[in-house]
Structure 1
């Protein structure tokens, strides 16, 4: 049975009606009931264009980062289809304008310019921190809200003063993920850390966050390896890390390089555990390292297990819709929730004028509570905080038999209750 925290808000749908519909039916029912409620607004709110509400989407849908870019896009599409089945916004369907950044910063900036030129009301996107940092000034200067569901680089929501920022995020930033993992490895007695970080903006930011988290525990890395994307062999750096006495490898990179590290350790016969942020849950690592990935630990906001009806419905709906395995569950779930949060911000604007400042104000405090897949979003953003994910929403995942599950039984039990922001 759903916990009390999962009950849908009465102002949108009566609890008894949702019980009869079930959570999957509730997704479609939600939109219809929202439209019914909006019909009671003053007539002037209904007057105007019936043209689609255009929402930008930008991410790596081809290339090396497509393994998490495509699940992000699918999560957005699933949410939009559900919303449109219920009537959209004031009778206007939502329409996605999708741009592929191919994980390239220059291309990311160009397609972001294209999105803004196409007059999208807001944008959901970015998986790669380096790409995001190259483009977010465009959204800020245009006063066009951007909701980031995947990129975890701390700098993404720190570049602008929060009160002025149009950059929002539904993802655990690295300044949360790094200390969360450091606390876990210290608890396990692993105090000699080797850091392996790529030279991208993501790797640089993650490296700095890990060093700061270690310093908070009076620790320093015993070895640091920095490398370019696409590296095929890190045997020399791994040998040096082992010689330095490292008893754990903290990796901060995006894809196949994580597998290079795991396979290199296996070749050397070095059994030091590999830990890191959410990128250790990506197919490039799981499929590329196979048995060498077993036991790796990573930070997660969402693990693809049907721990309650809300999550079970999301997982089954995704499988039915896309007829494929959910490759990076976190990317899809975060993006799905981000899309509904954007829709809820629309509903906070009663006159139908979806301009950037009005959406920013709505996102920062005028929305009703959204009972999401990753979390229950009760005031997820504010004028002083643009990150929706807080530490209590994080768990440690572990690779077991080639899949991600909970590292701790207590986390699996805690996951029965969807967390609220703290």
Structure 2
């Protein structure tokens, strides 16, 4: 046997041994699987930052818990975070970044205006968005790549109208709303007005304003109070609702103020102080729920972030776990997250089961709350 032939056969054997060794390592789990990537997009800066920060932190907690429990199918989960700055152009850019970096699903966005900006991109890429807080009816009953774990506007606005008519006896209202999130505020107002008028109420004036550092809330308050009414309805983020309430209280200390669930964060009370005492709003979240899963989440969230969770946090944690549970239950690796969710439909939430319809919409319990002694309290 010549030397060249012997050397060739030895090389062949070494190559074969290397292939067997690598195969054995993979079989034994020595070669780590690539992580699954999901994203989060929400406003974590600016006047709506309280909503986005609560959502971001809750999703981080959901992913951390899942990874500590072994991940999804043995694969760790990578979470990519993006701030949309409550700016449509930024929202579109950061969503494309998440898709380009391999996100298979995304929690968010957190406001209706941002959802309207980015849903077409998600539809084109076939990457599912699961929003914790977007409620505009413009995205209801559509076969698209947008799902949500909160109640849509029509149910929420109708519940507010019912409360004002039946429990407060308020029949003449002035509405003040943020035009920067008009896909939510105008949709909410339309649903509210229909239910309110049907019950004998009248929306006597609508005042729009653009949220920002130069917003003249005293001027808005004067305009709102210039029309004889029995109450004021504010559709704005927590900071703007608090600032406007302060100006209203300087001019009239007794007129009832009602807000939408968009303002239902601790930021409302922190900024508004005594001016928001007695303010009422409706949300799909019970701060006093005794559900064991919620109580455990509340404890862990408080330990991790040193504050109480609000509706945005609870819904974001649920949204994140819907995605993670759907990924874990996929029939095959190629199955899309949307299809995986619709194959199950029913998921366990922190306070109640989350049941999706064919279009990815849900209906949840609604709770009327009032600010009392610096806290949100349920109206029984």
CA contact (8 A) 2:179 2:210 kept: yes
Highest CA radius of gyration, 1 or 2? 2
Matched with 1:120 is 103
Structure 2: 5+ residue stretches without partners? 1-26
Structure 1: 5+ residue stretches without partners? 1-43, 409-422
CA deviation after TM superposition for structure 1 residue 303, in Å: 3.1
Of 153, 176, 179, 1:196 maps to 176
1:116 & 1:310 partners in 2: Cα distance? Answer: 32
CA deviation vs aligned residue, 1:340-374 (integer Å, no higher than 9, x gap):
11122123313233x43xx222211325x433213
Matched with 2:369 is 397
Q: 1:245 to 1:270 in 2, by over 3 A?
A: farther
1:371 & 1:386 partners in 2: Cα distance? Answer: 15
> Are 1:167 and 2:150 counterparts?
no
1:374 & 1:196 partners in 2: Cα distance? Answer: 32
Matched with 1:382 is 357
Moved over 4 A (4+): none
Matched with 2:201 is 219
CA deviation vs aligned residue, 1:29-61 (integer Å, no higher than 9, x gap):
xxxxxxxxxxxxxxx9x9x98111100111112
Alignment of 1:100-249 (within 5 A): 100-155=83-138, 157-158=139-140, 162=142, 164-187=143-166, 188-200=168-180, 201=182, 202-230=184-212, 232-249=215-232
1:236 & 1:62 partners in 2: Cα distance? Answer: 26
Give secondary structure in 2 for the equivalent of 1:272. Answer: coil
CA contact (8 A) 1:232 1:260 kept: no
Give secondary structure in 2 for the equivalent of 1:151. Answer: coil
CA contact (8 A) 1:99 1:111 kept: yes
CA contact (8 A) 1:152 1:171 kept: yes
TM-score, normalised relative to structure 1: 0.77
| Comparing 211-220 and 341-350, the one that deviates more | 211-220
CA deviation after TM superposition for structure 1 residue 211, in Å: 2.2
2:70 & 2:331 partners in 1: Cα distance? Answer: 16
Matched with 2:8 is none
Matched with 1:372 is 349
The RMSD of aligned alpha carbons is 2.3
1:215 & 1:106 partners in 2: Cα distance? Answer: 37
CA contact (8 A) 1:170 1:387 kept: yes
Q: How many residue pairs get matched?
A: 349
Q: 1:370 to 1:128 in 2, by over 3 A?
A: closer
CA contact (8 A) 2:327 2:340 kept: yes
CA contact (8 A) 1:303 1:404 kept: no
